[in-house]
């Protein structure tokens, strides 16, 4: 059985999650089963309500309970969220082990490595455990040990930024 592809969208610019969601929509329109697990996004994002309307073709999961920025949480709340994030990672492992989807998007998972919530080795092991499931990773910083696992890497840099409103 062929290994699923690994795509990474990283960099300081905006649009990494949007690019990953775009790829998820492409996969879903091709009849693929798609799951998105978002990390470090908090709760109550506008995009989640829209994405929920795409179910069952694209299934969205968030395990964090806080609506705030992770960095701004008190230490006790951070520890609670780290436990929730770990549940999300365990869910991703289960999805890969069971082949429950054709494409698994781990949105902002690179940020977990950057913040020390997830070890590079854990993420590398997760990516290497895939069978035929494709994986998309997003985040700002990309460790070399993860980069070498990718079939395609896109760096997103902001040249000019304007909010759409």
Q: Is the pTM of this model over 0.85?
A: yes
- 8 Å CB contact between 128 and 161: no
Backbone angles phi, psi at 154, to 5 degrees: -120, 125
How sure is the predictor about 3, in pLDDT bands with cuts at 50, 70 and 90? confident
Assigned token pair, 89: 């990672």
Domain of residue 33, residue span? 6-155
Q: Is residue 149 part of a domain?
A: yes
- What is the SS3 assignment for 132? coil
Q: Is residue 31 part of a domain?
A: yes
pLDDT digits (tens, 9 = 90+) for 97-116: 999 999 999 999 999 999 99
Per-residue pLDDT at 135: 98
Q: Is residue 133 part of a domain?
A: yes
Per-residue pLDDT at 99: 94
Q: Is residue 161 part of a domain?
A: no
Q: Is residue 93 part of a domain?
A: yes
| CATH number for the domain harbouring residue 90 | 3.40.50.300
Q: Is residue 138 part of a domain?
A: yes
10: closest CA among 125, 114, 164? 114
Count of structural domains, the chain: 1
């Amino acid at each position: 059985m062929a290994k699923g592809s690994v795509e990474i969208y990283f960099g300081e610019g905006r649009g990494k999650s949007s690019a990953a969601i775009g790829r998820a929509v492409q996969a879903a329109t091709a009849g693929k089963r798609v799951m998105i697990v978002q990390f470090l996004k908090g709760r109550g994002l506008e995009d989640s309500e829209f994405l929920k309307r795409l179910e069952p073709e694209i299934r969205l999961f968030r395990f964090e309970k806080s609506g705030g920025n992770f960095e701004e949480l008190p230490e006790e709340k951070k520890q609670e969220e780290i436990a929730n994030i770990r549940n999300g990672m365990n869910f991703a492992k289960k999805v890969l082990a069971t082949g429950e989807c054709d494409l698994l998007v781990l949105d902002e998972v690179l940020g977990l490595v950057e913040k020390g919530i997830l070890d590079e080795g854990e993420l590398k092991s997760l990516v290497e455990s895939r069978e035929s499931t494709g994986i998309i990773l997003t985040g700002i910083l990309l460790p070399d040990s993860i980069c070498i696992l990718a079939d395609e890497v896109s760096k997103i840099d902001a040249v000019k930024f304007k909010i759409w409103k």
